[in-house]
């Protein structure tokens, strides 16, 4: 070839998460004239490239380009003087036919280079909390394919694999999982050997189904595990209990979502943000200023109320009064806006507030239109004069993320209910989607956490079992309690 011949880079794209490509791989993608990619690839990697992009992926049964044709296309593009990136899932040389492409290029005299990638064989288990080796547990791992072309000259000896010891990782393992696990048991591996399937490792909908060698095939079909998935067999699977991250559904309104997501991440969860409610500011009564002036104490029961009131410019007036906040987060919202908080109850609840406000004569509540009657009733029977002014109302969010959550509710390990209305609107939306049974099943097998007793009683009214109410009635308290509970779960 002449000096202006192109070059082909066989680049590993990693298991799916676009951030799991190598720095070199990403640079080459950006520099390439042509990119040939497979089916499993994340589109995000292909966005904003200057290159011509060709999908050579083969959907099962629906071959787009044969291996021959792919090889020819690589050679043709390189001969046109182009820089070609052949992007392959995971690592190009692990069951990716990268070696074959390299040989074809070699034969044709085309310069090429391999850029290794993060392989799903190691990354998918890792991201599910399963190290393929672990000191004292397993000092070797073997990677095999579960799906061999029939009539291959050298067939895999599954009985021998059963005697190898160490960890066994099976790629392309879903289709023949029953046959393969049976052969391993026949070969002498105990049916009690821990096993797990990791589906779509590193994708947002990654899923890990755990079981034993004896029941994993059954579980794969009842959970409808689909390719791509990695089967991993061995005692290292037990580490998933300790190292696996759990998904927590956060159903709060938009304004509180970001902070909650960050906090959940800090506690080691994978947050799934799915606001089930949204808040609508209400018109305040025309005499709101007089109302404020007339009372001894102004009470806020959520940071939402604080935000809305601050927008109406009333905080200056309010800060001349005694100010009560139901809990630390509400208090924080006030102090952030320069308002001094005089009262925070010991218990962050309506009952706690009633206790803390005992003896105060005139009280103004600035809160949700759907606020708990317990606060009003409690204050009245303690002899206070109470003005209850609704500053916002709660409605269904209509958010797409909530619909996604409901459709994939079985992926959620922890449901965090921060108010009765988050529960009500979640259920209502599931009903509208015709997926109430599906959601109930998911709630049944997940950990259900309520922020406090009133939220728990709404959940019970809705027929949802409540597993946990934290000691402190805050979102952080919920995270702490959930982490403790899950850490000790078998
Ligand atoms: N070269 C690739 C493997 C190609 S074979 C690599 O190194 O990862 C295709 C098989 O890889 C699939 O059948 C599945 O077993 C596995 N696989 C690929 N991506 C995966 C992912 N994100 N999660 C789980 N398994 C995956």
Kindly state whether residues 127 and 92 are assigned to the same domain: no
Kindly state whether residues 172 and 135 are assigned to the same domain: yes
The DSSP-derived string for 120-179 is HHHHHHHHTT--S-BTTTBS-EEEEES-PPTT-SS---HHHHHHS-SEEEEES-STTHHH
Helices 436-445 and 400-407: angle between axes, nearest 10 degrees: 70
What pLDDT band is residue 204 in, cutting at 50, 70 and 90?
confident
Residue pair 354/348 in contact by the 8 Å Cβ criterion: no
Instruction: Please state the atom number of ligand 1 nearest to the C-alpha of residue 119.
Output: 7
Kindly state whether residues 127 and 238 are assigned to the same domain: yes
Q: Where are the alpha helices (DSSP H) in 150-285?
A: 158-163, 177-186, 216-222, 240-243, 254-266
From 396, 411, 438, the end of a domain falls on 396
Kindly state whether residues 417 and 478 are assigned to the same domain: yes
Instruction: Let me know if residue 1 belongs to a domain.
Output: no
What is the domain count for the chain?
4
Kindly state whether residues 111 and 63 are assigned to the same domain: yes
- Which domain, by its residues, includes 207? 122-242
Closest-CA residue, ligand 1 atom 11, reads: 171
For ligand 1, whether the C-beta of 208 sits within 6 Å is no
pLDDT tens profile 304-358: 899 999 998 999 999 999 999 999 999 999 999 999 999 999 999 999 999 999 9
* Active site positions, annotated: 38, 58, 172
Kindly state whether residues 293 and 392 are assigned to the same domain: yes
Kindly state whether residues 111 and 75 are assigned to the same domain: yes
Would you say the pTM of this structure is higher than 0.85? no
- CATH number for the domain spanning 256: value is 3.40.50.10090
What is the distance in A from the centroid of ligand 1 to the CA of 321? 63
The strand pair at 7-12 and 112-115 is best described as parallel
pLDDT tens profile 116-138: 999 999 999 999 999 999 999 99
Kindly state whether residues 407 and 266 are assigned to the same domain: yes
Over 80: is that where the pLDDT of 61 sits? no
Kindly state whether residues 303 and 174 are assigned to the same domain: no
Kindly state whether residues 233 and 372 are assigned to the same domain: no
- Pocket test of ligand 1: the residue of 230, 231, 232 to mutate, having most ligand atoms within 8 Å of its CB, is 230
């Amino acid at each position: 070839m002449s000096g202006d011949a192109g070059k082909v880079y066989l680049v590993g794209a990693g298991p799916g998460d676009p951030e799991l490509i190598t720095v070199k791989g990403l640079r080459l993608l950006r520099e390439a004239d042509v990119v040939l990619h497979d089916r499993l690839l994340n589109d995000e990697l292909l966005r904003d490239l200057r290159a011509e992009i060709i999908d050579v992926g083969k959907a099962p049964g629906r071959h787009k380009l044969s291996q021959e044709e792919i090889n020819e296309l690589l050679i043709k593009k390189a001969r046109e003087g182009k820089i070609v990136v052949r992007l392959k899932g995971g690592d190009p040389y692990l069951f990716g036919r990268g070696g074959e492409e390299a040989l074809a290029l070699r034969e044709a005299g085309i310069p090429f280079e391999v850029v290794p990638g993060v392989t799903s064989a190691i990354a998918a288990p890792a991201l599910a909390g399963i190290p393929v080796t672990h000191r004292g547990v397993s000092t070797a791992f073997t990677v095999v394919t579960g799906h061999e072309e029939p009539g291959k000259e050298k067939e895999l000896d599954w009985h021998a694999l059963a005697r190898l010891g160490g960890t066994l990782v099976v790629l392309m393992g879903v289709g023949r999982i029953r046959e393969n696990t049976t052969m391993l048991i026949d070969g002498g591996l105990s049916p009690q050997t821990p096993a797990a399937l990791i589906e779509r490792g590193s994708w947002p909908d990654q899923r890990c189904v755990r079981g034993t060698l004896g029941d994993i095939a059954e579980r794969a079909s009842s959970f409808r595990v689909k390719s791509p998935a990695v089967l991993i067999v061995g005692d290292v699977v037990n580490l998933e209990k300790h190292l696996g991250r759990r998904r927590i559904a956060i159903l709060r309104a938009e304004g509180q979502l970001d902070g909650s997501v960050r906090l959940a991440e800090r506690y080691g969860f994978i947050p799934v943000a799915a606001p089930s409610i949204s808040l609508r500011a209400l018109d305040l009564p025309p005499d709101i200023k007089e109302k404020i002036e007339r009372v001894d104490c102004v009470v806020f029961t959520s940071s939402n109320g604080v935000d809305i009131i601050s927008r109406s410019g009333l905080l200056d007036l309010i800060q001349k009064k005694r100010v009560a906040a139901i809990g630390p987060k509400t208090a924080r919202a006030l102090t952030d806006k320069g308002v001094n908080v005089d009262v925070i109850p010991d218990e962050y609840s309506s009952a706690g507030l009633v206790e803390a406000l005992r003896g105060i004569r005139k009280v103004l509540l600035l809160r949700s239109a759907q606020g708990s009657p317990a606060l009003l009733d409690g204050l009245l029977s303690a002899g206070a004069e109470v003005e209850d002014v609704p500053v916002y109302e709660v409605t269904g969010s209509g958010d797409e993320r909530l619909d996604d959550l409901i459709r994939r509710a079985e992926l959620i390990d922890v449901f965090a209910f921060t108010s009765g209305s988050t529960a009500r609107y979640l259920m209502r939306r599931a009903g509208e989607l015709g997926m109430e049974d599906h959601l109930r099943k998911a709630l049944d097998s997940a950990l259900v956490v309520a922020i406090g007793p009133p939220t728990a009683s709404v959940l019970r009214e809705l027929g949802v079992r409540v597993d946990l109410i934290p000691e402190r009635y805050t979102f952080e308290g919920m995270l702490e309690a959930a982490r403790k509970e899950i850490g000790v779960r078998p």
